[in-house]
Chain A
Amino acid sequence: MRRNLGWIAIVWLLLIVGVALVAYGQPTQHPSLAQQARAVGSQLRCPICQGESVADSPSTLAGAMRVEIRRQLKQGRTPAQIKAFFVARYGNWILLSPPAAGIGDLAWLAPPLLLLGGLGFVATLVLGWRRTGVGAAQAASPYLERVRAELAESERV
C-alpha cells in the first residue's frame, strides 16, 4: 500500500509538471507592432497631460507621438532607440520612469533607503523601551501602587 502511494505521488508530480510545461512552456510569440508601440508609448509621458502616458492619452500630441513610435518601429528601430529619440528632444523628463543613472539614481534608491531608515528608527525605539524598561516604570507608578493597595484592602474586607 505504502509503495503504491509513492507511485501515485510520482504520477501526480509528473502530471503537474506536464501541465505546467504545456501552460507556460509554449514558445513566446513575437509581439505585434501594435503591442510594441503600446509598450514604448506606456513608458513615455504625454507632454501636455497630467501624469498620463503617450499610450493612454487621448490628446492630439500624444496621438502624433504614437504615429512616430509606429513609424520608427516599422523602420526597425529598437524601443531603446525610440526612447532615446524622444529624450533627445524633450529631455529625461519625457520618461515616466527616471533613468537609473545620475540624479535618477536618487529616485530608485530613496524607497529602499527610507524603508531601511524606518526599520532602523523602529528598532532603535523598541531597543530604547527595552533598556529603560517600560514595565518597571509602570510598576513604580504611584497610581498603580494605590490601585493595588486598594484592591488588596477590598479583598481583605
Chain B
Amino acid sequence: MKRALWALVIAVPLVVLLATGFSRDPNVVVTPSVGKPAPPFNLSRLTGGHLSMASLRGRPVLVNFWASWCVSCAQEQPYLQSVWKTYRSRVEFVGVDYQESAGDARSYLRNGGPRWTIVEDPGQQTAINFGVTGVPETFLIDRHGIVRYHFAGPIIPGTTYPPSLLKSDLQKLIGQA
C-alpha cells in the first residue's frame, strides 16, 4: 500500500510534466511584445523615401517580416494579398524585408511580389527590436501603436493562425476606439 502511494507520488507529477511538455506546439513563439508599444522605426522604403512607426499612428498596422528567399513567405503571400485587398483602405500593411539585399527584393517585387509598402531593415535592428526569430512573422498593431497580435509562421489555411483568424483580428482592431 505504502509502495503504491510512493509510485503515485512519483508518477503523477512526471506524467503531468510530460503531458504539458508534449501538448505544447514547439512552433508557437511567445513574444513579450504583445500588449506593449510597437518598437519605433524609421526605415527606407524600397520605392524611395522613409517610413516611420510614428507616422502610422491613428491607423491599425500589419507589420510582416518577410524575404523573397523565404519559401513560407511565398506560400502566405497570395493569402496576405487577398486580405490586403479587402482591408487596404482601413489597415496599413508594411512589409519589412529581412536579411536580403534591396536589389533582390526589388526584382522580386517587379515579378509579382507584395504590393504594400516594403521597407529595408539593414542590420536587422528593427527585427531584433520586434523580437523576430525568423520569417515570416507578423505583428498587428492597433491605432494607438500597441502590439495586439503576433504570429510566427505563414498565415495560410491549416495553421494555428489561418487567414480567417487574421481577418477577424483586423476587424477587431478596426472596430477598436
Interface set of A (CB-CB < 8 Å, partner B): 47-48, 60-61, 64-65, 67-68, 87-91, 93
Asked if B30 contacts A91 (CB within 8 A), the reply is yes
CB-CB under 8 A for A64 and B124, given A89-B32, A89-B33: yes
Q: How far is the CA of A61 from the CA of B126 in the complex (A)?
A: 12
CB-CB under 8 A for A48 and B133, given A60-B99, A64-B125, A64-B127: yes
Nearest CB in chain B: distance from A41 CB, A? 13
CB-CB under 8 A for A88 and B32, given A65-B128, A67-B123, A68-B128: yes
Q: How far is the CA of A61 from the CA of B134 in the complex (A)?
A: 9
Known contacts A48-B133, A90-B32; 9 further A-B pairs (Cβ under 8 A): A47-B133, A48-B134, A60-B99, A61-B99, A61-B127, A89-B128, A89-B129, A89-B131, A91-B30
Which residues of B sit under 8 angstroms from A64, Cβ to Cβ?
Answer: 123-125, 127-128
Q: How far is the CA of A89 from the CA of B39 in the complex (A)?
A: 10
Q: State whether the Cβ of B31 lies closer than 8 Å to any Cβ in chain A.
A: yes
Size class of the B contact interface (CB-based, 8 Å): 10 to 19
Partner of A91, one of B31, B39, B125: B31
Q: State whether the Cβ of B84 lies closer than 8 Å to any Cβ in chain A.
A: no
Q: How far is the CA of A61 from the CA of B129 in the complex (A)?
A: 12
Q: How far is the CA of A64 from the CA of B130 in the complex (A)?
A: 13
Q: How far is the CA of A75 from the CA of B30 in the complex (A)?
A: 29
Q: List 30 A-B contacts (CB under 8 A).
A: A47-B133, A47-B134, A48-B133, A48-B134, A60-B99, A60-B124, A61-B99, A61-B124, A61-B127, A61-B133, A64-B123, A64-B125, A64-B127, A68-B125, A88-B32, A89-B32, A89-B33, A89-B39, A89-B128, A89-B129, A89-B130, A89-B131, A90-B31, A90-B32, A90-B131, A90-B133, A91-B30, A91-B31, A91-B32, A93-B30
Which residues of B sit under 8 angstroms from A60, Cβ to Cβ?
Answer: 99, 124
Nearest CB in chain A: distance from B97 CB, A? 13
Which residues of B sit under 8 angstroms from A87, Cβ to Cβ?
Answer: 32
Nearest CB in chain A: distance from B96 CB, A? 13
- For the complex of A and B, list the 3 residue pairs with the smallest distance between their C-beta atoms, beginning with the closest: A89-B131, A64-B124, A47-B133
Nearest CB in chain B: distance from A91 CB, A? 5
Q: How far is the CA of A93 from the CA of B131 in the complex (A)?
A: 11
Nearest CB in chain A: distance from B129 CB, A? 6
Which residues of A sit under 8 angstroms from B129, Cβ to Cβ?
Answer: 89
Which residues of A sit under 8 angstroms from B124, Cβ to Cβ?
Answer: 60-61, 64
Q: How far is the CA of A102 from the CA of B32 in the complex (A)?
A: 16
A61 to chain B: closest residue by CB: B124
Q: How far is the CA of A131 from the CA of B119 in the complex (A)?
A: 77
A67 to chain B: closest residue by CB: B123
Which residues of A sit under 8 angstroms from B134, Cβ to Cβ?
Answer: 47-48, 61
Q: How far is the CA of A65 from the CA of B128 in the complex (A)?
A: 7
Nearest CB in chain A: distance from B58 CB, A? 25
Nearest CB in chain B: distance from A118 CB, A? 12
Which residues of A sit under 8 angstroms from B99, Cβ to Cβ?
Answer: 60-61
